[in-house]
Structure 1
Amino acid sequence: MGALQPFRHDADNPLIKTLQSENGDIIISGRVLHEFLEVKTPYTQWFDRMTTYGFEDNMDFVLVSQKCETNNPRNPYTTVSDHHIKLDMAKEIAMIQRSEKGKQARQYFISIEKMWNSPEMIMKRALEIANQKVQQLTTNNLVLIQQVNELQPKASYYDMVLQNKSLLSVSKISKDYGMSARKMNVVLHQLGVQFKQGDLWLLYAKYQDKGYTQTSTHVIDADHSKISTKWTQKGRLFIYELLKREGILPLIERDEAETG
């Protein structure tokens, strides 16, 4: 159902906590609904019975797990099963209960549905989706520019530095200096080499055509992909010379300096 964020029908006093998925669905926790309805049957038995009314897994609801605190000092946390259910399913479940609480819940869900489908909320969601698309396009364009620029200097790749064609992650290079990958990325940012776009580090334009990095896109499925950037041996040498001017040597050279 995608990532969730809080959604409130009444921000001051919500009757039942609801969530909004990135797919545009209103989601309710099965356990929250079970508690509100004051059902005496244990949650798992009750929910299994509710699913016999024709609700489909991964369409009307999804199984989720959450950690809860216990009173046992040896085992302070336990994993509890819950379900994220869509608004239509929540309305039907509330009606099935044939109780005053069920009636309240159903009327509340109907009021949420009306608000959710109001012109103002439709416009708000459209703007949010548009902003997400712009952000994604911006990131993709920056990655594409870097990939194009990385391909330009291939004619100069046949120097001695690039005889070793293996690519390195920043975490492997950072180990040469006794740093974490996060610290190395920050240092390179502070030295004006790269900047962060979302979760991805990209080279500034003046370094993109030097053959220092190679960026690739791994397709996970139709809607998801993972972008990664690795350093070439030429890029590794560039980092070495850059850090050396800043007085930062790899561990092996520090050891040699100390023993010398």
Structure 2
Amino acid sequence: MNQIIKINTNERGEVNVSARELYDALEVRKSYRFNQWFDTNAKQLIEDEDYTSVDVTTEVKNNGGTQLRKLQDYTLTVDAAKQIAMMSGTEKGKQVRMYFIEVEKQWNSPELMLSRSLQYANSKLIGYESQIAELTPKAEMHDVFIEKGQAIGIREASKELNVKQNNLIDNLMNNGYVYRTKGHHGKLQPIKKYVPKYFVLKSASVNGVEFTPQMLITPQGREFFYKKFYEPDQIEMAL
């Protein structure tokens, strides 16, 4: 199945889509501006049930470089997206609606249901391992990074740095190292120039449906951010 529009998943395992990406997929740009198009279609939807307003940050090219730009977007449930596609009354709208129907079939297949169960069990296991790690005396941070020797997720990284996860995320976003993708509970993604030095991306696709890659922080990245945000006066560590 060809991917017409990216399907996102939030922390609760629910699927959703970006209104801006749906707008592009329906190819109505020539007829409506995005805000006009969404205001018209939102009349048949219920806010905080069918859609949620979100601010997203995206990279745009500017004078040979890139900069971050904030945009207004909305997270849509798949049912809401299907309804908008159907109401468009176009052949493209029909194709998009049928694509969502096929995605839902695959999402509810026994294979994917089992996959989600395994992912949940794995996340619980990581949580238990993190609790055990907190009870174990730690060596110097540099030794921990070297011993770990692998890229890990933001939750594990915050545990390793002994800081709150939201605090680490805020520092990374406010200092221009990462941004959030479109959609409710959008996933963190790194700025391209910091890949693969500080971050790597772990891609995932099931039955031809590609999901937003998971961002992992490298040992070098964790050491760098630890010194930058939490121990700025620390003696320079050899990288």
TM-score by length of structure 1 reads 0.51
**1-structure distance, mates of 2:121, 2:65:** 49
The alpha-carbon deviation at position 46 of structure 1 amounts to 1.2
Q: Equivalent of 1:96, from 60, 64, 87?
A: 87
**2-structure distance, mates of 1:36, 1:190:** 45
The alpha-carbon deviation at position 133 of structure 1 amounts to 0.7
Partner of 2:215: none
Of all paired residues, the percent bearing the same amino acid is 31
Partner of 1:110: 101
2:89 counterpart SS class: coil
Q: Which runs of structure 2 are paired with 1:31-180 in the superposition (5 Å)?
A: 31-39=20-28, 40-57=31-48, 60-69=51-60, 78-143=69-134, 145-146=135-136
Kept in 1: contact 2:55–2:73 (CA 8 A): yes
Residue 108 of structure 1 aligns with an amino acid whose one-letter code is: Y
Relative to structure 1, the CA distance from residue 135 to residue 80 in structure 2 (aligned partners, 3 Å threshold; closer, same or farther) is same
**1-structure distance, mates of 2:54, 2:82:** 18
1:186 and 2:142 correspond: yes
1:198 and 2:187 correspond: no
Higher relative contact order (CA 8 A, sep 6+): 2
Kept in 1: contact 2:51–2:74 (CA 8 A): no
Residue 95 of structure 2 aligns with an amino acid whose one-letter code is: Q
**2-structure distance, mates of 1:118, 1:49:** 34
Kept in 2: contact 1:116–1:122 (CA 8 A): yes
**2-structure distance, mates of 1:103, 1:93:** 10
Residue 141 of structure 2 aligns with an amino acid whose one-letter code is: N
Q: Deviations over 1:129-158 (max 9, x none)?
A: 110011112212332x34xx8xxxxxxxxx
Kept in 2: contact 1:62–1:84 (CA 8 A): yes
Relative to structure 1, the CA distance from residue 218 to residue 78 in structure 2 (aligned partners, 3 Å threshold; closer, same or farther) is closer
Count residues with an aligned counterpart. 159
Kept in 2: contact 1:139–1:198 (CA 8 A): yes
Partner of 1:241: none
The alpha-carbon deviation at position 81 of structure 1 amounts to 1.9
1:198 counterpart SS class: helix
1:114 counterpart SS class: helix
Kept in 1: contact 2:86–2:97 (CA 8 A): yes
2:129 counterpart SS class: helix
Kept in 2: contact 1:25–1:87 (CA 8 A): no
The alpha-carbon deviation at position 15 of structure 1 amounts to 1.9
The alpha-carbon deviation at position 29 of structure 1 amounts to 1.6
**1-structure distance, mates of 2:111, 2:80:** 24
Structure 2 runs not aligned, ≥5 long = 167-233
Structure 1 runs not aligned, ≥5 long = 1-9, 150-183, 203-214, 221-249, 252-260
TM-score by length of structure 2 reads 0.55
The alpha-carbon deviation at position 79 of structure 1 amounts to 2.5
Residue 5 of structure 2 aligns with an amino acid whose one-letter code is: I
**1-structure distance, mates of 2:58, 2:145:** 37
Kept in 2: contact 1:62–1:85 (CA 8 A): no
**RMSD value, Cα:** 3.7
The alpha-carbon deviation at position 16 of structure 1 amounts to 1.9
Greater Rg by CA: 1
**1-structure distance, mates of 2:68, 2:144:** 40
**1-structure distance, mates of 2:27, 2:98:** 17
1:81 counterpart SS class: strand
Kept in 1: contact 2:16–2:77 (CA 8 A): yes
1:26 and 2:38 correspond: no
Partner of 2:199: none
